[in-house]
Structure 1
Amino acid sequence: MRIKLVLFFLACQTAVYAQNFKYPTLPNQGKSLSALVPANWKILDSISGDLNHDQLNDLAFVMEYHKEVRESRAYGDNTTEIITEIQKPRILAVYFKRANGEGYQIGVQNNNFILRSAEGGIMGDPLRPLKIDSNKLVLSFEGGGDWRWKLNYTFRYQDKNWFLEKAGNEYYNESSGEMTHKKYDFILRKRLVTTGKTHNRDAANETVSEDFPFKTLRTFQSFKKPWTWEIGPDEFL
Protein backbone atom coordinates (compact mmCIF):
# COMPACT_ATOMS: atom_id res chain seq x y z
CA MET A 1 0.00 0.00 0.00
CA ARG A 2 2.82 2.38 0.91
CA ILE A 3 4.56 1.72 -2.43
CA LYS A 4 1.34 2.50 -4.28
CA LEU A 5 0.98 5.80 -2.42
CA VAL A 6 4.57 6.76 -3.20
CA LEU A 7 4.06 5.97 -6.87
CA PHE A 8 0.83 7.96 -6.87
CA PHE A 9 2.46 11.08 -5.42
CA LEU A 10 5.41 10.78 -7.80
CA ALA A 11 2.99 10.54 -10.71
CA CYS A 12 1.14 13.64 -9.50
CA GLN A 13 4.40 15.55 -9.16
CA THR A 14 5.50 14.52 -12.65
CA ALA A 15 2.15 15.60 -14.04
CA VAL A 16 2.56 19.05 -12.49
CA TYR A 17 6.07 19.52 -13.92
CA ALA A 18 5.21 18.05 -17.32
CA GLN A 19 2.14 20.18 -17.90
CA ASN A 20 1.88 22.03 -21.21
CA PHE A 21 2.50 25.45 -19.72
CA LYS A 22 2.00 28.52 -21.88
CA TYR A 23 2.61 32.13 -20.98
CA PRO A 24 -0.56 34.21 -21.02
CA THR A 25 -0.92 37.14 -23.38
CA LEU A 26 -1.45 40.11 -21.11
CA PRO A 27 -4.41 42.43 -21.70
CA ASN A 28 -3.81 45.18 -24.22
CA GLN A 29 -5.26 47.66 -21.74
CA GLY A 30 -6.92 47.88 -18.36
CA LYS A 31 -8.18 50.36 -15.79
CA SER A 32 -6.10 49.24 -12.82
CA LEU A 33 -3.15 47.07 -11.81
CA SER A 34 -5.42 44.32 -10.51
CA ALA A 35 -7.24 44.20 -13.85
CA LEU A 36 -3.97 43.46 -15.66
CA VAL A 37 -2.99 40.37 -13.65
CA PRO A 38 -4.05 37.00 -15.15
CA ALA A 39 -5.51 34.20 -13.06
CA ASN A 40 -2.93 32.11 -11.15
CA TRP A 41 -0.35 34.92 -11.24
CA LYS A 42 0.66 37.20 -8.37
CA ILE A 43 2.45 40.55 -8.18
CA LEU A 44 5.98 40.36 -6.72
CA ASP A 45 6.88 44.01 -7.15
CA SER A 46 5.47 47.11 -8.83
CA ILE A 47 6.40 50.74 -9.32
CA SER A 48 4.80 53.84 -10.81
CA GLY A 49 6.48 56.64 -12.75
CA ASP A 50 6.82 58.31 -16.15
CA LEU A 51 8.60 56.01 -18.63
CA ASN A 52 7.63 57.57 -21.98
CA HIS A 53 8.09 61.32 -21.26
CA ASP A 54 4.39 62.24 -21.33
CA GLN A 55 4.25 63.49 -17.71
CA LEU A 56 1.90 60.64 -16.73
CA ASN A 57 2.65 57.90 -14.22
CA ASP A 58 3.07 54.53 -15.92
CA LEU A 59 3.15 51.08 -14.31
CA ALA A 60 5.97 48.53 -14.23
CA PHE A 61 5.56 45.26 -12.38
CA VAL A 62 6.85 41.71 -12.03
CA MET A 63 4.51 38.72 -11.70
CA GLU A 64 5.10 35.09 -10.75
CA TYR A 65 3.09 31.97 -11.64
CA HIS A 66 1.50 30.11 -8.73
CA LYS A 67 3.34 26.80 -9.22
CA GLU A 68 6.49 25.32 -10.67
CA VAL A 69 6.72 24.12 -14.28
CA ARG A 70 9.44 22.84 -16.57
CA GLU A 71 11.00 25.84 -18.24
CA SER A 72 13.87 26.15 -20.71
CA ARG A 73 16.14 29.09 -19.91
CA ALA A 74 18.97 30.60 -21.94
CA TYR A 75 22.51 30.60 -20.62
CA GLY A 76 25.82 31.48 -22.22
CA ASP A 77 25.26 32.97 -25.63
CA ASN A 78 21.43 32.88 -25.60
CA THR A 79 21.10 30.09 -28.16
CA THR A 80 23.45 27.12 -27.80
CA GLU A 81 23.26 26.76 -24.01
CA ILE A 82 19.63 26.12 -23.10
CA ILE A 83 18.99 24.50 -19.71
CA THR A 84 15.64 23.08 -18.61
CA GLU A 85 14.76 23.84 -14.99
CA ILE A 86 11.79 23.34 -12.69
CA GLN A 87 10.75 26.72 -11.34
CA LYS A 88 7.98 29.32 -11.17
CA PRO A 89 7.88 31.45 -14.35
CA ARG A 90 7.98 35.23 -14.09
CA ILE A 91 6.79 38.08 -16.30
CA LEU A 92 7.94 41.69 -16.52
CA ALA A 93 5.20 44.05 -17.70
CA VAL A 94 5.08 47.77 -18.39
CA TYR A 95 1.85 49.66 -19.02
CA PHE A 96 1.66 53.29 -20.10
CA LYS A 97 -0.94 55.60 -18.62
CA ARG A 98 -3.42 56.54 -21.34
CA ALA A 99 -3.53 60.20 -22.34
CA ASN A 100 -7.21 60.51 -21.46
CA GLY A 101 -6.41 59.30 -17.95
CA GLU A 102 -8.63 56.23 -18.27
CA GLY A 103 -6.51 53.19 -17.53
CA TYR A 104 -3.31 51.84 -19.06
CA GLN A 105 -2.00 50.61 -22.42
CA ILE A 106 0.57 47.82 -22.63
CA GLY A 107 4.15 48.89 -23.29
CA VAL A 108 5.94 45.56 -23.02
CA GLN A 109 5.52 41.97 -21.86
CA ASN A 110 8.78 40.14 -21.27
CA ASN A 111 8.80 36.48 -20.19
CA ASN A 112 12.56 35.93 -20.05
CA PHE A 113 14.62 38.70 -18.48
CA ILE A 114 13.55 38.49 -14.83
CA LEU A 115 15.61 35.96 -12.87
CA ARG A 116 13.64 33.23 -11.09
CA SER A 117 13.56 32.68 -7.33
CA ALA A 118 16.19 29.89 -7.34
CA GLU A 119 18.69 31.74 -9.53
CA GLY A 120 20.28 33.71 -6.69
CA GLY A 121 22.28 30.91 -5.05
CA ILE A 122 22.38 30.67 -1.26
CA MET A 123 21.25 34.30 -0.95
CA GLY A 124 17.79 33.29 -2.13
CA ASP A 125 15.58 35.19 -4.52
CA PRO A 126 17.84 37.47 -6.62
CA LEU A 127 15.14 39.97 -7.60
CA ARG A 128 15.62 43.41 -6.09
CA PRO A 129 13.07 46.27 -6.10
CA LEU A 130 12.19 47.88 -9.42
CA LYS A 131 13.24 51.50 -9.91
CA ILE A 132 12.39 54.31 -12.29
CA ASP A 133 15.24 56.80 -12.68
CA SER A 134 15.06 59.77 -15.08
CA ASN A 135 12.23 58.13 -17.08
CA LYS A 136 14.18 54.87 -17.36
CA LEU A 137 13.41 51.41 -15.98
CA VAL A 138 16.10 49.92 -13.71
CA LEU A 139 16.15 46.15 -13.08
CA SER A 140 18.42 44.83 -10.32
CA PHE A 141 19.50 41.40 -9.10
CA GLU A 142 21.81 40.06 -6.41
CA GLY A 143 23.03 36.60 -5.44
CA GLY A 144 25.93 34.22 -4.86
CA GLY A 145 27.60 32.64 -1.84
CA ASP A 146 31.05 33.44 -0.48
CA TRP A 147 31.58 35.24 -3.77
CA ARG A 148 28.61 37.45 -4.48
CA TRP A 149 27.35 39.43 -7.44
CA LYS A 150 25.16 42.44 -8.10
CA LEU A 151 23.67 43.26 -11.49
CA ASN A 152 21.65 46.24 -12.66
CA TYR A 153 20.28 47.17 -16.07
CA THR A 154 18.85 50.51 -17.19
CA PHE A 155 16.40 50.37 -20.11
CA ARG A 156 15.13 53.41 -22.03
CA TYR A 157 11.87 53.41 -24.01
CA GLN A 158 12.26 54.99 -27.44
CA ASP A 159 10.72 54.44 -30.88
CA LYS A 160 8.42 51.72 -29.47
CA ASN A 161 11.33 49.65 -28.21
CA TRP A 162 13.35 49.19 -25.00
CA PHE A 163 17.07 49.86 -25.31
CA LEU A 164 19.73 48.94 -22.76
CA GLU A 165 21.45 52.23 -21.97
CA LYS A 166 23.54 51.39 -18.89
CA ALA A 167 24.46 48.36 -16.79
CA GLY A 168 26.53 47.42 -13.77
CA ASN A 169 28.21 44.19 -12.70
CA GLU A 170 29.83 43.89 -9.27
CA TYR A 171 31.60 40.71 -8.09
CA TYR A 172 32.95 40.61 -4.54
CA ASN A 173 34.04 38.31 -1.71
CA GLU A 174 31.88 38.58 1.40
CA SER A 175 34.77 37.75 3.75
CA SER A 176 37.79 39.51 2.28
CA GLY A 177 35.98 42.41 0.61
CA GLU A 178 37.93 41.86 -2.62
CA MET A 179 35.84 43.19 -5.48
CA THR A 180 35.61 44.14 -9.12
CA HIS A 181 32.90 46.57 -10.18
CA LYS A 182 32.19 47.29 -13.84
CA LYS A 183 29.91 50.06 -15.05
CA TYR A 184 28.87 50.11 -18.70
CA ASP A 185 27.58 53.16 -20.59
CA PHE A 186 26.32 52.02 -23.97
CA ILE A 187 25.55 55.55 -25.13
CA LEU A 188 29.03 56.93 -24.46
CA ARG A 189 30.54 53.51 -25.26
CA LYS A 190 32.64 53.51 -22.11
CA ARG A 191 33.33 50.99 -19.37
CA LEU A 192 34.55 51.95 -15.87
CA VAL A 193 36.36 49.15 -14.04
CA THR A 194 36.95 49.56 -10.31
CA THR A 195 39.06 47.06 -8.36
CA GLY A 196 39.95 46.95 -4.70
CA LYS A 197 38.01 46.33 -1.49
CA THR A 198 34.34 46.92 -0.75
CA HIS A 199 35.19 48.58 2.59
CA ASN A 200 37.74 51.01 1.09
CA ARG A 201 37.04 54.63 0.41
CA ASP A 202 36.72 55.35 -3.31
CA ALA A 203 40.16 56.96 -3.39
CA ALA A 204 41.76 53.75 -2.13
CA ASN A 205 40.42 51.70 -5.01
CA GLU A 206 41.63 51.83 -8.60
CA THR A 207 39.25 52.91 -11.38
CA VAL A 208 40.11 52.67 -15.07
CA SER A 209 38.05 54.05 -17.95
CA GLU A 210 38.05 51.95 -21.11
CA ASP A 211 36.55 52.32 -24.58
CA PHE A 212 33.76 49.87 -25.16
CA PRO A 213 33.00 49.59 -28.90
CA PHE A 214 29.93 47.74 -30.13
CA LYS A 215 27.55 47.90 -33.09
CA THR A 216 23.99 48.32 -31.83
CA LEU A 217 22.17 48.83 -28.55
CA ARG A 218 20.74 45.69 -26.97
CA THR A 219 17.01 45.35 -26.36
CA PHE A 220 14.82 42.87 -24.52
CA GLN A 221 14.66 40.91 -27.78
CA SER A 222 18.42 40.73 -28.36
CA PHE A 223 19.44 40.38 -24.71
CA LYS A 224 17.37 37.50 -23.32
CA LYS A 225 18.37 37.44 -19.66
CA PRO A 226 21.17 38.33 -17.21
CA TRP A 227 24.52 36.52 -17.67
CA THR A 228 23.82 35.66 -21.32
CA TRP A 229 25.70 38.49 -23.07
CA GLU A 230 29.32 37.48 -23.52
CA ILE A 231 30.98 40.86 -23.84
CA GLY A 232 34.49 39.41 -24.00
CA PRO A 233 36.50 36.37 -22.91
CA ASP A 234 35.12 35.25 -19.55
CA GLU A 235 33.15 38.52 -19.25
CA PHE A 236 29.41 38.16 -19.06
CA LEU A 237 26.70 40.66 -18.29
Structure 2
Amino acid sequence: MKNLLCFIILFVYTTGFTQSTETIIPQQGKTTEDFIPKGWKIISTAFGDLNKDKAEDVAIVIENTDPANFTTNENLGPQTLNLNPRYLLILFKNKNGYTLNTVNKTFVPSANTTESPCLDDPFTTADEMTITKGVLTINFRTWLSCGSYGISNETFKLRYQDSHFVLIGYDLWESSRNAGDITETSINFLTKKKSITTGENLFEENNQNEHQTVWEDVQINELINLANLKWPNEIEF
Protein backbone atom coordinates (compact mmCIF):
# COMPACT_ATOMS: atom_id res chain seq x y z
CA MET A 1 0.00 0.00 0.00
CA LYS A 2 2.86 2.37 0.78
CA ASN A 3 4.28 1.95 -2.72
CA LEU A 4 0.90 2.67 -4.33
CA LEU A 5 0.31 5.74 -2.16
CA CYS A 6 3.76 7.14 -2.90
CA PHE A 7 3.33 6.57 -6.63
CA ILE A 8 -0.01 8.40 -6.66
CA ILE A 9 1.24 11.32 -4.57
CA LEU A 10 4.59 11.59 -6.37
CA PHE A 11 2.73 11.84 -9.68
CA VAL A 12 0.44 14.44 -8.19
CA TYR A 13 3.19 16.68 -6.92
CA THR A 14 5.51 16.38 -9.90
CA THR A 15 2.79 17.05 -12.48
CA GLY A 16 0.65 19.47 -10.54
CA PHE A 17 3.26 22.00 -9.43
CA THR A 18 6.78 23.13 -10.25
CA GLN A 19 8.72 24.86 -7.49
CA SER A 20 10.36 28.21 -8.12
CA THR A 21 14.14 28.39 -7.66
CA GLU A 22 14.39 32.17 -7.77
CA THR A 23 13.53 33.02 -4.16
CA ILE A 24 16.63 34.09 -2.25
CA ILE A 25 16.92 33.52 1.51
CA PRO A 26 19.37 35.79 3.42
CA GLN A 27 22.37 34.14 5.07
CA GLN A 28 22.27 36.33 8.20
CA GLY A 29 19.55 38.04 10.22
CA LYS A 30 18.89 39.54 13.62
CA THR A 31 15.44 37.94 13.92
CA THR A 32 13.66 35.03 12.28
CA GLU A 33 11.52 37.51 10.35
CA ASP A 34 14.64 38.72 8.51
CA PHE A 35 14.75 35.38 6.68
CA ILE A 36 11.20 35.54 5.37
CA PRO A 37 11.11 36.84 1.77
CA LYS A 38 8.55 39.44 0.79
CA GLY A 39 5.25 37.79 0.00
CA TRP A 40 5.98 34.72 2.13
CA LYS A 41 4.69 33.73 5.58
CA ILE A 42 5.64 31.37 8.41
CA ILE A 43 3.32 28.37 8.80
CA SER A 44 5.28 26.37 11.39
CA THR A 45 8.14 26.99 13.82
CA ALA A 46 10.12 24.79 16.21
CA PHE A 47 12.75 26.00 18.70
CA GLY A 48 15.60 24.04 20.30
CA ASP A 49 19.35 23.49 20.38
CA LEU A 50 20.33 21.63 17.21
CA ASN A 51 24.13 22.06 17.08
CA LYS A 52 24.91 21.48 20.78
CA ASP A 53 26.09 25.01 21.56
CA LYS A 54 23.34 25.53 24.19
CA ALA A 55 21.71 28.27 22.09
CA GLU A 56 18.10 28.06 20.92
CA ASP A 57 18.11 27.39 17.18
CA VAL A 58 14.98 27.41 15.06
CA ALA A 59 13.42 25.40 12.23
CA ILE A 60 10.84 27.24 10.15
CA VAL A 61 8.53 26.24 7.33
CA ILE A 62 7.59 29.19 5.14
CA GLU A 63 5.00 29.42 2.39
CA ASN A 64 4.64 31.75 -0.56
CA THR A 65 1.38 33.73 -0.65
CA ASP A 66 1.39 34.62 -4.34
CA PRO A 67 -2.26 34.96 -5.52
CA ALA A 68 -1.17 33.55 -8.89
CA ASN A 69 -0.62 30.18 -7.18
CA PHE A 70 -4.24 29.90 -6.06
CA THR A 71 -6.54 28.20 -8.54
CA THR A 72 -10.23 27.34 -8.72
CA ASN A 73 -11.09 23.66 -8.32
CA GLU A 74 -14.00 22.40 -10.39
CA ASN A 75 -13.74 18.82 -9.15
CA LEU A 76 -14.22 17.15 -5.77
CA GLY A 77 -12.36 18.77 -2.88
CA PRO A 78 -11.98 22.40 -1.77
CA GLN A 79 -13.23 25.16 -4.08
CA THR A 80 -9.83 26.87 -4.10
CA LEU A 81 -6.45 25.12 -4.27
CA ASN A 82 -3.32 26.64 -2.75
CA LEU A 83 -0.36 25.60 -4.90
CA ASN A 84 2.19 27.92 -3.30
CA PRO A 85 5.60 26.35 -2.54
CA ARG A 86 6.95 25.79 0.96
CA TYR A 87 10.56 25.87 2.13
CA LEU A 88 12.14 24.40 5.25
CA LEU A 89 14.69 26.75 6.84
CA ILE A 90 17.05 25.85 9.68
CA LEU A 91 18.63 28.80 11.49
CA PHE A 92 21.45 28.59 14.01
CA LYS A 93 21.42 31.10 16.84
CA ASN A 94 24.49 33.28 17.30
CA LYS A 95 25.40 36.36 19.34
CA ASN A 96 24.18 38.72 16.60
CA GLY A 97 21.00 36.87 15.71
CA TYR A 98 20.78 33.89 13.37
CA THR A 99 22.75 32.23 10.57
CA LEU A 100 21.01 30.28 7.82
CA ASN A 101 22.30 26.70 7.90
CA THR A 102 19.90 24.81 5.66
CA VAL A 103 17.25 25.48 3.01
CA ASN A 104 15.24 22.57 1.64
CA LYS A 105 12.78 23.49 -1.11
CA THR A 106 11.46 20.00 -1.87
CA PHE A 107 10.69 18.29 1.44
CA VAL A 108 7.51 20.09 2.57
CA PRO A 109 4.72 19.88 -0.02
CA SER A 110 2.27 22.59 -1.00
CA ALA A 111 -1.13 22.58 0.66
CA ASN A 112 -2.99 21.33 -2.42
CA THR A 113 -2.51 19.96 -5.91
CA THR A 114 -4.61 20.24 -9.05
CA GLU A 115 -4.11 16.56 -9.92
CA SER A 116 -5.51 15.29 -6.61
CA PRO A 117 -7.64 17.99 -4.96
CA CYS A 118 -9.04 15.43 -2.51
CA LEU A 119 -5.62 15.07 -0.86
CA ASP A 120 -5.57 16.90 2.48
CA ASP A 121 -2.63 19.16 3.29
CA PRO A 122 0.01 16.56 4.29
CA PHE A 123 1.90 18.95 6.57
CA THR A 124 -0.48 21.18 8.55
CA THR A 125 -2.93 18.32 9.19
CA ALA A 126 -0.15 16.38 10.95
CA ASP A 127 1.66 17.18 14.22
CA GLU A 128 4.07 19.18 12.05
CA MET A 129 7.51 19.51 13.67
CA THR A 130 9.35 19.69 17.00
CA ILE A 131 12.90 19.89 18.33
CA THR A 132 13.69 17.63 21.29
CA LYS A 133 17.15 16.74 22.60
CA GLY A 134 18.81 17.98 19.43
CA VAL A 135 16.55 16.02 17.09
CA LEU A 136 14.31 17.74 14.56
CA THR A 137 11.12 15.74 14.04
CA ILE A 138 8.87 16.44 11.05
CA ASN A 139 5.52 14.72 10.48
CA PHE A 140 3.35 14.21 7.42
CA ARG A 141 -0.15 12.78 7.03
CA THR A 142 -1.66 11.24 3.89
CA TRP A 143 -5.47 11.28 3.73
CA LEU A 144 -7.65 11.56 0.63
CA SER A 145 -11.38 12.25 0.75
CA CYS A 146 -11.77 10.56 -2.65
CA GLY A 147 -9.78 8.27 -4.90
CA SER A 148 -8.11 6.14 -2.24
CA TYR A 149 -8.94 4.52 1.11
CA GLY A 150 -5.27 4.48 2.08
CA ILE A 151 -4.11 6.61 5.01
CA SER A 152 -0.65 7.05 6.51
CA ASN A 153 1.40 9.03 9.01
CA GLU A 154 5.13 9.51 8.47
CA THR A 155 7.73 10.78 10.95
CA PHE A 156 11.24 11.89 9.97
CA LYS A 157 13.90 12.39 12.66
CA LEU A 158 16.92 14.50 11.70
CA ARG A 159 20.11 15.29 13.61
CA TYR A 160 22.96 17.68 12.90
CA GLN A 161 26.30 15.91 12.62
CA ASP A 162 29.42 16.25 10.47
CA SER A 163 28.26 19.73 9.39
CA HIS A 164 24.91 18.71 7.93
CA PHE A 165 21.53 17.29 8.89
CA VAL A 166 21.00 13.56 8.40
CA LEU A 167 18.04 11.23 8.76
CA ILE A 168 18.50 9.07 11.85
CA GLY A 169 14.98 7.70 12.21
CA TYR A 170 11.87 7.06 10.16
CA ASP A 171 8.44 5.84 11.28
CA LEU A 172 5.50 4.91 9.06
CA TRP A 173 1.96 4.12 10.21
CA GLU A 174 -0.34 3.01 7.40
CA SER A 175 -3.83 1.60 7.13
CA SER A 176 -6.94 1.54 4.97
CA ARG A 177 -10.35 3.01 5.78
CA ASN A 178 -12.10 0.01 4.25
CA ALA A 179 -10.13 -3.01 5.51
CA GLY A 180 -8.64 -1.33 8.59
CA ASP A 181 -5.48 -3.44 8.83
CA ILE A 182 -2.57 -1.45 10.32
CA THR A 183 1.12 -1.82 9.56
CA GLU A 184 3.74 0.09 11.52
CA THR A 185 7.32 0.36 10.31
CA SER A 186 10.12 1.90 12.37
CA ILE A 187 13.70 2.35 11.14
CA ASN A 188 16.67 3.36 13.27
CA PHE A 189 19.43 4.31 10.86
CA LEU A 190 22.00 4.56 13.65
CA THR A 191 21.54 0.98 14.86
CA LYS A 192 20.65 -0.19 11.33
CA LYS A 193 17.55 -1.99 12.58
CA LYS A 194 13.98 -2.00 11.30
CA SER A 195 10.81 -3.31 12.96
CA ILE A 196 7.55 -4.12 11.18
CA THR A 197 4.47 -4.57 13.37
CA THR A 198 1.17 -5.99 12.11
CA GLY A 199 -1.99 -7.45 13.63
CA GLU A 200 -3.89 -4.34 14.71
CA ASN A 201 -7.07 -3.15 12.99
CA LEU A 202 -8.85 0.21 13.00
CA PHE A 203 -12.21 -1.43 13.60
CA GLU A 204 -11.25 -3.92 16.30
CA GLU A 205 -10.58 -3.33 19.99
CA ASN A 206 -8.38 -5.20 22.47
CA ASN A 207 -6.41 -7.07 19.82
CA GLN A 208 -3.04 -6.62 21.54
CA ASN A 209 -2.39 -10.36 21.53
CA GLU A 210 -2.57 -10.41 17.75
CA HIS A 211 0.36 -8.05 17.31
CA GLN A 212 3.39 -9.47 15.56
CA THR A 213 6.71 -7.64 15.25
CA VAL A 214 9.44 -8.72 12.86
CA TRP A 215 12.95 -7.27 13.11
CA GLU A 216 15.28 -6.85 10.16
CA ASP A 217 18.72 -5.43 9.50
CA VAL A 218 18.98 -2.22 7.49
CA GLN A 219 21.56 -2.20 4.71
CA ILE A 220 22.88 1.36 4.56
CA ASN A 221 26.39 2.67 4.02
CA GLU A 222 25.77 6.32 4.85
CA LEU A 223 23.01 8.36 6.44
CA ILE A 224 20.55 10.21 4.20
CA ASN A 225 21.23 13.93 3.94
CA LEU A 226 18.33 16.34 4.47
CA ALA A 227 19.36 18.03 1.22
CA ASN A 228 18.33 14.84 -0.62
CA LEU A 229 14.93 14.44 1.01
CA LYS A 230 11.82 15.06 -1.08
CA TRP A 231 8.16 14.49 -0.38
CA PRO A 232 6.74 11.98 -0.88
CA ASN A 233 9.72 9.86 0.07
CA GLU A 234 10.21 6.28 -0.98
CA ILE A 235 12.04 5.01 2.11
CA GLU A 236 12.91 1.43 1.19
CA PHE A 237 15.28 -0.47 3.51
Q: Which SS does the other structure have where 1:34 is aligned?
A: helix
Alignment gaps of 5+ in structure 2: 1-15, 71-81
| Correspondence for 1:156 | 159
Q: Is 1:219 aligned to 2:225, yes or no?
A: yes
Matches of 1:53 and 1:105, distance apart in 2: 15
CA distance 1:20–1:162, shift in 2 (3 Å): closer
1:87 maps to what in 2?
Answer: 83
Question: Is 2:51 aligned against 1:52?
Answer: yes
Other structure's SS at 1:221 match: helix
TM-score by length of structure 1 reads 0.75
Do the aligned residues in 1 keep the contact of 2:84 with 2:110 (CA within 8 Å)? yes
Aligned to 2:24: 25
Instruction: State how far apart, in whole Å, the 2-side matches of 1:173 and 1:125 are.
Output: 18
CA contact (8 A) 2:155 2:171 kept: yes
- Provide the residue aligned with 1:185 in structure 2: 188
Q: In 1, are the aligned partners of 2:85 and 2:109 still within 8 Å (CA)? A: no
Q: Which residue does 2:211 correspond to in 1?
A: 205
Q: Which residue of 1 aligns with 2:143?
A: 144
In the TM superposition, residue 160 of structure 1 has moved relative to its aligned partner by 1.4
- Paired residue for 2:173? 170
Structure 1: 5+ residue stretches without partners: 1-16, 71-85, 233-237
1:125 matched to which residue of 2?
121
Equivalent residues of 1:126, 1:141 under 8 A apart: yes
Whether 1:106 aligns to 2:112 is no
Change (3 A) 1:103 1:223: same
For 2:57 and 2:201, locate their aligned partners in 1 and report how far apart those are by CA, in whole Å: 36
Provide Cα deviations, 1:67-123, integer angstroms capped at 9, x if missing partner: 3559xxxxxxxxxxxxxxx9211100010110x2x2111110110111221269745
TM-superposed CA distance for 1:159, in Å, is 1.8
The partner residue of 2:93 within 82, 97, 120 is 97
Q: Give the greater-gyration-radius structure (CA).
A: 1
Is 2:63 the counterpart of 1:64? yes
CA RMSD of aligned residues (A): 2.7
TM-score normalised by the chain length of structure 2? 0.75
Distance in 1 (alpha carbons) for counterparts of 2:59 and 2:51: 12
On the 8 A contact 2:20/2:85 being kept in 1, the answer is no
| Corresponding letter in the other structure for 1:109 | V
Cα distance, 1:19–1:141 mapped onto 2, change above 3 Å = closer
> Are the aligned partners of 1:19 and 1:69 in contact in 2 as well (CA < 8 Å)?
no
Instruction: Identify if the C-alpha distance between structure 1 residues 97 and 198 changes in structure 2 by more than 3 Å, giving closer, same or farther.
Output: farther
- Cα deviation, residue 201, structure 1: 5.6
- Distance in 1 separating the partners of 2:198 and 2:121: 27
